[in-house]
Amino acid sequence: MAEGEPGWSAAAPKVMCLSCPARDSFLCSGLEDHEIRHLAARATRFQLPKGKSLILEGDPSENVYNIISGDVVLSRVASDGRRQILGFLGEGDFIGLTLSEHYKFSAEALSDVRLCRFDRRSLDELVERFPGMDRQIRRMGAAAVDHMLGLVFALGRKSAEERVATFLLDVAEKQGCCKDPSRTIHLAMTRGDIADFLGLTLETVSRTISRLKRQGIIRLLSSNRVEILKPDELAALADAEVA
């Protein structure tokens, strides 16, 4: 429910944050209820339709966003016009935490997205006021570095098949499918998006996914739903441990 929608009130976000789907996100998970209420008081909820831009590269970094539901893609454009996808974010992820005065990436909705927006200066004030928020910010930074190092390794040392397998396992882990016996994952992004992210061609990604299907490792339930039938074999291809 965004500001201006039927049923919205100034007090509504304070109540909603306590039962928000993103309540267990990095920033919110370690906070006490009274800290969440202070955070909620600074939040503005809104919706972003599929295909719309949330952030444009070079914009002033004035806000931080928390994804309540939906999927967002982060990207940058090189001087020659080529696009590099930096990552895919979903429920519980934060966007815009940066030391730079301007965003160094663009963010676009891959599906209809619901978000909370926080003024960056207000969030800084809360971090100084509540040690719990400061600890969570540090944890988020450490997790981002860990993920970045894993990505650098995947793109620099792994084969095309290993990259695709690693990507599917990463999506499954983020979506919590490791606890689901069916291990069915939702891919909001296109095959072209996956290719841009992994540094591969569209044809290579499509061939690799088809090969995994023929081998019985995955099953394509639809254009954007994949069932991981043999997680052990997929993990072996990715040179990773099964979560």
Q: What is the DSSP code string of 106-174?
A: EEEESS-EEEEEEEHHHHHHHHHH-HHHHHHHHHHHHHHHHHHHHHHHHHHH--HHHHHHHHHHHHHHH
DSSP SS3 for 10:
coil
Residues 145 and 168 in one domain: no
Counting DSSP H helices and E strands in the chain, the numbers are 9, 11
Final residue of a structural domain among 86, 119, 152: 152
Task: Give residue-wise pLDDT tens across range 15-66.
Answer: 556 666 655 665 666 677 777 777 778 888 899 999 999 999 999 999 999 8
Residues 164 and 217 in one domain: yes
Residues 164 and 219 in one domain: yes
For residue 196, the domain's CATH number is 1.10.10.10
Residue 2 has pLDDT above 50, yes or no: no
Please indicate whether residue 141 or residue 196 has the higher confidence score (pLDDT): 196
Residues 72 and 53 in one domain: yes
Q: What does pTM read for this prediction?
A: 0.81
Residues 112 and 205 in one domain: no
Q: Picking from 102-111, 145-154, 198-207, which range would have the lowest pLDDT averaged per residue? A: 145-154
Q: Picking from 55-69, 85-99, 145-159, 198-212, which range would have the lowest pLDDT averaged per residue? A: 145-159
For residue 35, the domain's CATH number is 2.60.120.10
Per the domain annotation, does 167 fall within a domain? Answer: yes
pLDDT at 157: 81
Per the domain annotation, does 1 fall within a domain? Answer: no
Residues 28 and 128 in one domain: yes
Residues 202 and 106 in one domain: no
Task: Give residue-wise pLDDT tens across range 112-167.
Answer: 999 989 898 888 888 888 877 778 778 877 887 887 787 787 777 889 999 999 99
Residues 193 and 105 in one domain: no
What's the number of domains the chain is made of? 2
pLDDT at 190: 94
∠164-185-224 over CA atoms, to 5°? Answer: 80
Residues 143 and 227 in one domain: no
Residue 102 has pLDDT above 90, yes or no: yes
pLDDT at 5: 39
For 131, other C-beta atoms within 10 Å of its C-beta total 10
φ/ψ of residue 161, rounded to 5: -65, -40
Residues 106 and 189 in one domain: no
**Tokens 């291990």 appear where?**
183
What residues does 5 pair with on adjacent strands? none
Which domain, by its residues, includes 197?
159-238
